[in-house]
Amino acid sequence: MNRKVQGAKTRLFAKHADKIRAAFQDAFDSEAIAKSFEETHPAGGEITPAMARDWVKIHAHINKKALNEALKKAYADGWVFGSDLAKYNLANRKTTKAPKVGVVDWDTWTPGNRGAAELLKPKGGLQTLLDNRGVVIDGITNTKLDRIGTVLAKALEQGITPKEVSTLVDKVVDDPEQALTIAQTEMSRAVAVASRELYQESGVELVEWLVADPCDLCQENADVSPIRIDETFPSGDTEPPAHPNCVCDIAPYVVDTRD
């Protein structure tokens, strides 16, 4: 995989990870959660982690507006990157129907205002990604709530103060590693869907899986490459990501018919 391309993706992911992390801070009120839990669970009471997780899913208020906005912009910028990457790959493979593309300086690549422009009239795969945001956000917030519930159960058992509980909850909410995982996984999805869509429009028949960080699952996908663009890889996917934090790509495979 092109190191400069991967470097540009990494910078883009890090930028949106910061925005997703900030969105989680807007979504959860750690102090309010700690206070409400303390009021309904007197010190010294007994509660299992499962009971605490059930409690927090019912009583914790989540403001998903910022998360929706952060994910929308992440998908849009990922989509722009994926389109540029596809054009770059097609041009460098000299396919007969390659769209025009200038020289791409991946060291300085940014989406500029094109992500916002794509959101004005999203179509195809981008619209599908945007439509599925609610499902994605429900999944990541439920994971966050489970972790908060585990913290609350342990805090009650240890008899620590609501202020200390609030600090512990905030560490779960403000988790840079989880924010980066979400950014990498979901933006990789947008990059790959955009690339694959453009390949199809350009008449590409075969694609190959380009491994970024080797794992058994992705390596198996790479080993069977190329496959027809309408088929699925061994992981069950038509394009990355095959798992959380997967940052692999797909590229057009061109058969050299020269003698």
**Residues with Cβ within 8 Å of residue 15, at least 6 apart in sequence:** none
Cα 255 off chain centre by: 32
Cα 57 off chain centre by: 23
Q: What is the pLDDT of residue 233?
A: 97
| pLDDT per position as a tens digit, 162-195 | 899 999 999 999 999 999 999 999 999 999 999 9
Q: Is the pLDDT of residue 18 over 80?
A: yes
**Average pLDDT, whole number, for the chain?**
91
Beta bridge mates, 210: 249
Question: What is d(CA 40, CA 11) in angstroms, rounded to the nearest whole number?
Answer: 44
107 contacts 11 by C-beta, under 8 angstroms: no
The band of 257, judged by pLDDT with boundaries at 50, 70 and 90, is very low
Tokens describing residue 229:
């663009």
167 contacts 219 by C-beta, under 8 angstroms: no
**Residues with Cβ within 8 Å of residue 129, at least 6 apart in sequence:** 75, 79, 189, 190, 193
Question: What is d(CA 134, CA 123) in angstroms, rounded to the nearest whole number?
Answer: 18
| pLDDT per position as a tens digit, 32-91 | 999 999 888 876 667 889 999 999 999 999 999 999 999 999 999 999 999 999 999 998
Half-sphere exposure of 77 (CA within 13 A, CB side): 26
Type of residue at 86: A
